[in-house]
Amino acid sequence: MKTFTLNGTWSMLEPDGNRTEGKIPGSVYSFLLDAGKMEDPYYRDHEFKALELVKGDYTFVKAFDADPALLSQNHQVLRFDGVDTISDIYLNGMWIGSTMDMHTAYEFDVRGLLLESGNELKVCIKSPTRWIAQRDKEHHLGGSIEAMKGFSYLRKAHCMFGWDWGPRLPDEGIWKDVTLLGWNDERITDVRIHQNHLLEDGSAAMGASEHAAQAKAGRVRVQLTVKAETSASSTDGADSCAAALHSVGAARSSKAVSHGIDSAGSGEAAGQTGSNQICGRDDAKSIRIELTAPDGQVFCMKNGEPFEVERPQLWWPNGLGDQPLYTVTVSLLGREGEVIERQTRRIGLRTMTMRRKKDQWGETFATEANGQTFFAMGADYIPEDNILSRRSPERTKRMLGYCRESHFNAIRVWGGGFYPDDWFFDYCDEYGLVVWEDLMFACAFYPSDEAFYDEIREEIRQNVRRIRHHASLGLWCCNNEMEGFTFDGGYECNAITKADYLIQNEYVIPQILKEEDPDTFWWPSSPSSGGKLDNPSDPSRGDVHYWNVWHGGVPFTEYRKFRFRYLSEFGFQSFPCLTTVKSFTEPQDRNIFSYVMEMHQRNAGANGKIMMYLSQNYRYPETFENLLYASQLLQAEGIKYGVEHFRRNRNDDRCMGAIYWQLNDIWPVASWASLDYYYRWKALQYYAKRFFTPVMLSCEENGMASQGLTCISEPEPHTYSARLCLTNETWDVQKRTVVWELRDESSCILKSGRIEAEVKPFSSEWFDTIDVSDADIRSTHLHYALLKEEETQGAADGADLAEDDTAQGSVLFVPAKHYRFADPHLELDVNRKDRTVTVTAEAYAKSVEIYSAGGYVRLDDNFFDMEKGSRTLQILEGDMDDLKVRSVFDI
C-alpha cells in the first residue's frame, strides 16, 4: 500500500473572491485566524461576526504533483478522513463525488484522472447555516432550543450550531487528513478481534463476579478474522471491492452520486472464519498475524483460528489494576512474501459489560470488568474546542491525564459532538478510563427516509470498526436524551416522530451494532430503563439524568432522597477563574450580569440561578473575583453532596455510577465543567480528586439544611447529628483508623472520637451516629479524617498518629453564611527550590484556595478545609510568583 499525504498548505477561495493560504486539516476559521483576517470568535461578542462568515460557500484548493510510485499502482484512491460537511469534490476539473457526513470517511477512485504534475484538487463546501435553514423551512424537526433550527438534518457536530454551554460557530472545512492511496492487487478491508475468556476449568468467565479472582488467572482465546479484497473480485475500477466505494447519501445530495468508505471494509460476525482462500491464494501465506505481549514476547496466529494466550495479563479499569496492552500486527503479503500492507491494533485482554440483574430495589445497572462490578466514577466529555484544527493528542492527553490523577475510572462521550479521535481511545486504554460512547445523536428528531438511514448506517459502521478493539470501550449508546423527550412528548413530539424514533434507535442502529460489534454492550438511550419508551427515567433501573438540582432549583439535600442505579448526568454551574474571564472580557465587562458575561453564559438565566443558590449558602461576595471563587465552591460542594451520597449507597450494587456533567469546555464560558477551556482546574476538579478516591471517608450531616430549617424557623429543639461512612472501591479489606472531632471556630476540640474500621472490598460501612444537638451549631463544626495507613497498621494503641491530608474534611450544621468564622489569618511560605508552598492558619479555615493573582497555578490539592496549623502543598504547574490565599471567611 502506497500512502501519500495531501495535508499541508492549501488555498481557500472566499465568497468575495479573495484567496487565503492555510493548513489542512483546517477550516474557514483557522485559515482566517492564522492569516489575521478575522477577530477571535471567543472574545467578547465576536461570535456574531464569525457566524456571518459561514453564510457563504468556500472552496479549498490544493495543487500537487503525483508521485510516480503512486501512478504505477493498479488502484489509485483519494481519501478524505473528514470533510465538514457538505461538499462537491473536483480533480483536474472533473467532479468525482460529494460528501454529506462530517463523521464519515470518503474515498474516490481517481485512476486515470491523476497527472504526473500540475494536479488541482478542489473541495467546494456549502454553507451549513443556509442548508439547514432551507431544510427546516421545508419541514421542521423539533430539537434543542439552544441550537439553530434544522441542525438535526445535517450530520455535523450538533453543538457547533450552539448549545447551552457552547457558541453558534458552525465552522466548515477539511477537519481530518487527506491522502492518496495506491495498491496493485490486494488491501486489508476488515480486522475483527474477538476474545473468549475462560476460567481454569474451561467455563466462560464473562459475567461471573464470584469468579473474579480466578478470572485473573484464567485463559483467554483471541481470534482474529482478517479480510482482504483483490481486483479479481471485480470487473472494473469503478466497482472494485478493493476500492470499497459505497454509494451514500445520493438522495440527499444535489449530485447523483457520493461515495463513502469504511476504512475497514465489509466484514463478518465475530468468530466467523469465512473462507480460507483470498481470491485463490492460500490464506496462511497471504496474511501474517503477530500478537506482541506487553513484555515484548511475540506469538504467531492464524487467520480465523483461536489462539490461546497463556498467563494472560488482564486489563483493568483505573484503580482496580494495571492496563497492560497487547499489540496485534496484521501484514498482508505479496506473492513473493513481501509486505503489501500492515495494520496494527492495541488491545487489552478483558471482559466488559453492564450487569443487569433483578433485585429488591428494581434492577442493577453496574459496569462489570473481568467479572467484577465497580462504582463508575467520572464525568461527561464534550468536544475540546469549537475550532477543530486546535485538536491535538497533547491536549487530550493532558485532559485525560487529569482524569486519571483525579481517580476517574470512567468517562462518557456525549452524543452531540463527534466521535473522538483514535488518540482519545489510546489514552483511555492507557489510563484505565472505561468509555461510555454515545453515537452522535442528541436532543433532536431526525429525518426518517431511507437515504438518511443508509447514511447513518455507513457512519456507524465506520466508527464502530475504528473503535471496537479498544480495551477502554465500555458500551455503545444510541443517543443522548431522545428516549426521555420522546416519552415525555418534548421537542414537538407526535405519533409520527415517536414511531421514527423507535425505528432509528431500536431497529436501524441496533442492527448495525449487532452486525459490527456483538461483543460490546448496547444501550438504547441515555437516560433509559432499557428501551421501548418504558419510563426512561425510572430511578430503580438503568441510567438517569437528574437535573432538579440546578434546573429545578432545589437544594443540594435533594440528592439524598434518591438512590439511582447509575447517574450518567447531573451537574451544577460555576464561573471560570479570573485569568480565564480576562481572556474574553475587558475590565468594564467584569460583572456577571454584563452583556459580555451573559454572552459567555449559554444557559438562559443561569447567572441569576448561581446567585440564587449562592444566597442560600454564602454571604454576598464583596469583589468580582471572590464571586467567581464562591461560585466554584457552590459547584464543588453541590456535586460532592451528590457523589458522596451515591457512593455511600453502593452496597449490593444498588448505586453504581456517578458521572457528573461535565468534564471540559468547548470555549471560555461559565458552565458545568470542572476543567475550563484552558484546562485550568476549578474547585470541582480538586473535590473530584477527593470524592473519587478509592477509599473515601465521608460524612452525612443532619443540620439545618437537611431538616428544611432557616434562621427564621420557629425556635424549638432540633436534632443535629452526623454519621461517618467509609467506602472501599478496592480489592483489599481496609483496616483503617477514623478520627472525628467536634471543634469550635478557633479549632479548639470540644469532643472527639476514634473508630477502628474494617471495610470489605467493594463496599461501604456506616458508623454510629454522632449527636451534636447540645452544641452551638453556629460556632461548631465536625472535623473528620483517616489516619495515615502505614501508621494505622504499625502503631500501638493510644499513639498520636498523623492524619491523611488527602482523606479529611469538615461539615457545618448551618449554611456557611451563618457560621461564625474566626479570621484564620492565612499566610503562605513559598519554597522555590522544592516547588512547595506552606499555608498556615490560626483558626478553622474552610475551602482554602491558593491561587496566582496574575496567572494560574495547580497544586496537588487545593480548595481544602484545614484546622489551626499548617499544611504543605506541591506546586505542579504554574508560576510561583504572586501567590495568594483565601477561604470562605473572605467571602
Contact 683, 756 (CB under 8 A): no
* 800 within a domain of the structure (yes/no): yes
pLDDT at 259 over 70: no
> Which residue in 643, 641, 639, 635 sits closest to 671, CA to CA?
635
Residue 354 C-alpha cell reads as 453492564
Confidence of residue 283 (pLDDT cuts 50, 70, 90): low
The predicted model gives 577-604 an average pLDDT of: 98
Per-residue pLDDT of 633-677, as tens digits, reads 999 999 999 999 999 999 999 999 999 999 999 999 999 999 999
DSSP string, 283-351: HHHHEEEEEE-TTS-EEEE-TTS-EEESS--B---TTTS----EEEEEEEE-TTS-EEEEEEEEE-B--
The helix or strand, by DSSP H or E, that contains position 353, with its residue range, turns out to be strand 352-355
Tell me, yes or no, whether 91 and 30 share the same domain.
yes
Q: Report the C-alpha gap between 527 and 504 in whole angstroms.
A: 17
In angstroms, the first-to-last Cα distance of the chain is: 65
- Is 60 exceeded by the pLDDT of residue 232? no
H or E stretch covering 475 = strand 473-477
DSSP 786-851: EEPHHHHHHPPTT--PPEEEEEEEEEESS-GGGS-PPP---EEEEETTTTEEEEEESS-EEEEEEE
Lowest-pLDDT choice from 229-243, 352-366, 864-878? 229-243
Nearest to 264, CA basis, from 342, 191, 346, 177: 191
Same domain, 322 and 222: yes
664 closest CA partner among 690, 685, 643, 693: 685
- Which is it for strands 277-278 and 281-282: parallel, antiparallel or unpaired? antiparallel
Claim to verify: residue 519 and residue 383 sit in the same structural domain: yes
pLDDT for res 239: 35
638 and 538 fall within a common domain:
yes
| CA torsion, ordered 107, 112, 117, 118, to nearest 10 deg | -70
Single-letter amino acid, residue 311: R
**pLDDT tens, residue by residue, 693-727:** 999 999 999 999 999 999 999 988 899 999 999 99
Q: How many beta carbons lie within 10 A of that of residue 888, not counting itself?
A: 24
Q: Which of 347, 381, 402 is the last residue of a domain?
A: 347
Same domain, 333 and 288: yes
Q: Which residue, 525, 504, 501, 424, is CA-closest to 460?
A: 504
Residue 526: the pLDDT is 98
The verdict on 679 and 708 lying in the same domain is no
Residue 789: the pLDDT is: 76
Non-local (6+) Cβ contacts of 643 within 8 A are: 377, 658, 660, 688, 691, 692
Over the chain, what is the mean pLDDT? 92
Contact predicate 662/672, CB 8 Å? yes
Residues sharing a CB contact under 8 Å with residue 618, sequence separation 6 or more, in sequence order: 630, 633, 634, 815, 816, 817, 888, 891
**Torsion, CA 392, CA 397, CA 400, CA 402, rounded to 10:** -120
Q: Please give the C-alpha separations between residue 806 and each of 647, 686, 836, in angstroms, as whole numbers.
A: 18, 11, 16
Quote the strand ranges of 495-605, DSSP E: 521-523, 544-545, 567-569
Domain boundary among 769, 801, 818: 818
Give the C-alpha separation, 570 to 662, whole Å.
8
334/451 same-domain check:
no
Q: Provide the edge-to-edge strand list for the sheet that holds 298-301.
A: 298-301, 287-292, 326-333, 339-347
Mean pLDDT of 453-468: 98
User: Looking at residue 802, what is its pLDDT?
Assistant: 81
Helix and strand element counts for the chain (H, E): 18, 54
Are residues 792 and 866 part of one domain? no
Helical (H) or strand (E) element with 496: helix 495-503
- Phi-psi region at 118: left, alpha or beta (left = phi > 0; alpha = psi -120 to 50): left
Q: Which residues contact 755 (CB under 8 A, 6 or more apart)?
A: 724, 737, 738, 739, 740, 767
Half-sphere exposure of 821 (CA within 13 A, CB side): 25
Kindly indicate the confidence band of residue 806, based on its pLDDT and cuts at 50, 70 and 90. confident
Query: What's the CATH code of the domain at 171?
Result: 2.60.120.260
Confidence of residue 229 (pLDDT cuts 50, 70, 90): confident
CA atoms within 13 A on the CB side of 605: 7
Domain interval for residue 47: 2-181
Using CB atoms within 10 Å of the CB of residue 714, give its burial: 0 to 12 exposed, 13 to 18 middle, 19+ buried: exposed
Q: In what helix (H) or strand (E) does residue 640 lie, and over which residues does it extend?
A: helix 624-648
Say if residue 580 is in the same domain as residue 465: yes
Q: Residue 256's pLDDT band (boundaries 50, 70, 90)?
A: very low
CA distance linking residue 162 with residue 566, whole number of Å:
28
C-alpha cell of residue 192: 475483527
User: Mean pLDDT across the stretch 490-508?
Assistant: 96
Q: Which of 673, 694, 715 is the last residue of a domain?
A: 694
What's the pLDDT tens digit per position in 95-130? 999 999 999 999 999 999 999 999 999 999 999 999
355-370 pLDDT, tens per residue? 999 999 999 999 999 9
Element (H, E) at 514: helix 509-516
Dihedral, CA of residue 238, residue 240, residue 243 and residue 248, to nearest 10: 70
List the single range of 100-109, 243-252, 852-861 with lowest mean pLDDT: 243-252
pLDDT higher than 60, residue 515: yes
pLDDT in tens, 400-424: 999 999 999 999 999 999 999 999 9
Name the percent of the chain lying above pLDDT 70. Answer: 90
**DSSP structure string for 404-418:** HHTT--EEEE-TTS-
Q: Is residue 665 part of a domain?
A: yes
Q: What's the pLDDT at 204? A: 56
- Amino acid code (one letter) for 552: G
How many structural domains compose the chain? 5
259 found inside a domain: no
Distance CA 556, CA 569 (A): 15
Evaluate whether residue 253 is within a structural domain. Answer: no
> Mean pLDDT, to the nearest integer, of 332-357?
96
243: in domain: no
pTM as predicted: 0.94
Q: What is the pLDDT of residues 388-402, one digit of tens each?
A: 999 999 999 999 999
Question: Same domain, yes or no, for 175 and 203?
Answer: no
Q: What is the CATH number of the domain that holds 717?
A: 2.60.40.10
Cβ count within 10 A of residue 870: 11
Residue 362 lies in a domain: no
Q: From CA 821, how far away is CA 295, in angstroms rounded? A: 57
Tell me if 496 is assigned to some domain: yes
> Which of 252-256, 505-509, 805-809 has the least mean pLDDT?
252-256
Average the pLDDT over 170-183 and give the result. Answer: 98
User: Contact, 34 vs 11, CB < 8 A?
Assistant: no
Residue 601 lies in a domain: yes
Cα–Cα dist 715/830, whole Å = 48
Q: What percentage of the chain reaches a pLDDT higher than 90?
A: 88
The b/e string for 821-838 (b: 16+ C-beta within 10 A; e otherwise) is bbebebeeeeeeeeebbe
Query: If pLDDT is split at 50, 70 and 90, which confidence band does 763 have?
Result: very high
Q: CATH number of the domain at 621, please.
A: 3.20.20.80
Average pLDDT rounded to a whole number, residues 5-13: 98
Q: Which band of pLDDT confidence, cut at 50, 70 and 90, is reported for residue 454?
A: very high
- Which has more confidence, 254 or 597? 597
The answer to whether residues 645 and 776 belong to one domain is: no
Same-domain check for residues 444 and 568:
yes
